[in-house]
Every structure is written in C-alpha cells, then in structure tokens.
Amino acid sequence: MLDFETYKLENVTLLSGEILLDAHLAFKTYGKLNSNKDNAVILPTFYTGSHQRNEGFFGEGRAIDPNKHFVISVNLFGNGLSSSPSNTPAPQDGSRFPKISLWDNVACQYRLLTEHLEVESIALVTGWSMAGCQAYQWAAQYPDFVNAILPFCASAKTSIHNYVFLEGVKAALCADSHWNNGNYQTQPIVGLKAFARVYAGWAFSQTFYRDELFKEIGYESAEALLLDWEKDHADNWDANNLLAKLDTWQAGDISVGPLYSGDYHQALGSIKAKTIIMPCTQDLYFPPADNQIEAELIPNAELRVYNSPWGHCAANPGNDSGFTAALERSIRDLLV
C-alpha cells in the first residue's frame, strides 16, 4: 500500500519550453489546514530524499508539529515517486526525460498547494540541501505567498565549485560500460557504486574521517561506510533518476526565469519572507561564505552558522544532536 498521494498535473510546459507529459507530484500531508488556510509548512525533498526521510524533521511536540501545522512533504521531480525517468512512459522515459529546473518544481508545487490543497499562504518552507535550495526558490518565485524560509546546508545558486563536484560523481557513474548513454538494459551497478564512493568523500568533512566519527553511526571503518553507501545506491537508485536530479541541482539559480532574467542580486533582494540561513562550517558543498553573501542581499535575513565536523551530513536526522537542537530553535523563532 502506497503511503503517499499523487496529484496529476497533466501536461506541464517547462521553463525550457519543453513539455513534460502527464506529469504528477507525489506528496504526503500531516495535520490539518486551519480555518485561515495559513498554517502550511512545506518540506520539499533533498537529493536522495523522499517524504519518508523528511519525517525526521518534525513530530509531535517539536518545532514543526502536525498538531499545529499542516505539513506538506513534496517529492522532487526525478526521485522515483514524482515524475521521473524511471516511471515516465515513452517517449520521455529513461534518458529521454526532459531537464527539470527548480523553477519547474516549485511552480508545480504551487499548483498542488493552491489548486488541490487550498493553501492561501505558507507559514514556512524549510529543508536540507537541495530541499533548502527549493526554499530559496519558493521565496523568490512567490514572494507574496511565503512568510518565512529556513534553508539549511543549501544555497540560492549552485556555485561553480559545487557544479564541479557534481561533475565528478556524474563521471564516475557514466564511466560504467553498462551505462550506454542512459539506455541501459540493467542498472549500471559498477557506476552506481563508484558514484556512492565519490559522494561519500564529500558528504562528510575531513575532520569526520580524521577523528573516525563514522564509528558513532555504526561503522567500524571508513571502508565499511563506503560499502554501505555502495549497497544503498546499487539497491535503491535508478541511474537516470540520480542524473535527472543532478541536472536540476547543477542548474539551481533562483534568478533564472521570467521574473529576474538572471539578475541574482535582484532575486535575493525581492525575497520578502523572514529568513534564517543555517550553514555548517565544514560543509563541502555549501560553505558559509556563500551564504554570507546571500544573507547580506536578502532583506530581513539572519545567518546562523553551526560548527560541526559532520559536514553536510550534520543535518541528517540522528547524526548531530546539537544541529537538531539549533534547527529546532530557529524554526520556532520563525513560526512564532
């Protein structure tokens, strides 16, 4: 039995001009919309995330509480639940799946909220990593609809360094002879395992490995962690899905589209939402220096840097209790 709902969008004209045929969004809601229709908290999904994994960011008695808030967890295009290379029929299946931007994701999420769920304003959009990138996108794309955002370990525009990192994991996957330009008959397992090994070197910090913090999450050695990551990617991920979302990540930029025509400063300056940005000091994807620039350009923005050797994965629920506590405080500050 599926634990999510599906909203059919029919044919969607993408920012690129291409049409995504018979598109759908997979989502799950928790709690109820209040009479004012303004208690919605939006949790988009992160790169390898799903609505299930977002459940670690809220709960009864926590800052985001389904007893108070209407929590909407929306799956990113390409994650295998919403429209993706793996579940889209010909002629847009597999490697023929169109490139999807964050603009496209958020435009379709807006339709879900307004056309189907009857939400009239958003109390908060928050999320980790690529989900946080969508929080920025929401605030810039619909500035009068969003009251607050809290992106953590994320950015409003994918940096050149971040882009190059993603080129590395992509190259590792595509080097598998079974990849066949995305037209594989069976999953390119060697490539998926290589992707996982490269990715693990970036997900945690140098300090994490030097101090052997992997032992705190059940791994006897770095090699044990790598083997587990290999298994996770080989068992659970479709290669074209990973690359579809990677393309979306690489193209991330809240100024792309008809509103700002590439003017990044204007896009940031147009954000009306109360904003708290939470980077991690040792995040190798989204360093605090990039977020500092954003905070200076967004009105009513505050930068709260968290120091952690867990790097990008400090935000993964269960890894760093201090980060979780800091995140809870920041969410409460925005939802008062």
Q: Which two tokens stand for residue 93?
A: 């299946």
pLDDT tens by residue, 294-321: 999 999 999 999 999 999 999 999 999 9
Q: Across the strands, what pairs with 19? A: 13
- Whether 283 is catalytic is yes
Question: Whole-number mean pLDDT of the chain?
Answer: 97
Catalytic residue among 51, 86, 312, 330: 312
Ranges of H-type helices in the chain: 51-54, 102-111, 130-141, 160-174, 189-203, 206-210, 222-236, 239-250, 264-269, 288-297, 321-335
pLDDT tens by residue, 207-222: 999 999 999 999 999 9
**Of 335, 254, 336, residue with least CA distance to 41:** 335
1 band by pLDDT with thresholds 50, 70 and 90 = low
Question: What is the average pLDDT across 263-278?
Answer: 98
User: Has residue 2 got a pLDDT over 90?
Assistant: no
Q: Looking at the domain covering 162-246, what would its CATH class be?
A: mainly alpha
336 band by pLDDT with thresholds 50, 70 and 90 = confident
Q: Where are the domains of the chain?
A: 5-158+254-335, 162-246
User: Has residue 269 got a pLDDT over 70?
Assistant: yes
Catalytic residue among 129, 155, 255, 308: 129
- Whether 235 is catalytic is no
**CATH homologous superfamily of 5-158+254-335:** Alpha/Beta hydrolase fold, catalytic domain (3.40.50.1820)
Residue 140 contacts residue 52 (beta carbons within 8 Å): no
Catalytic residue among 176, 253, 283, 320: 283
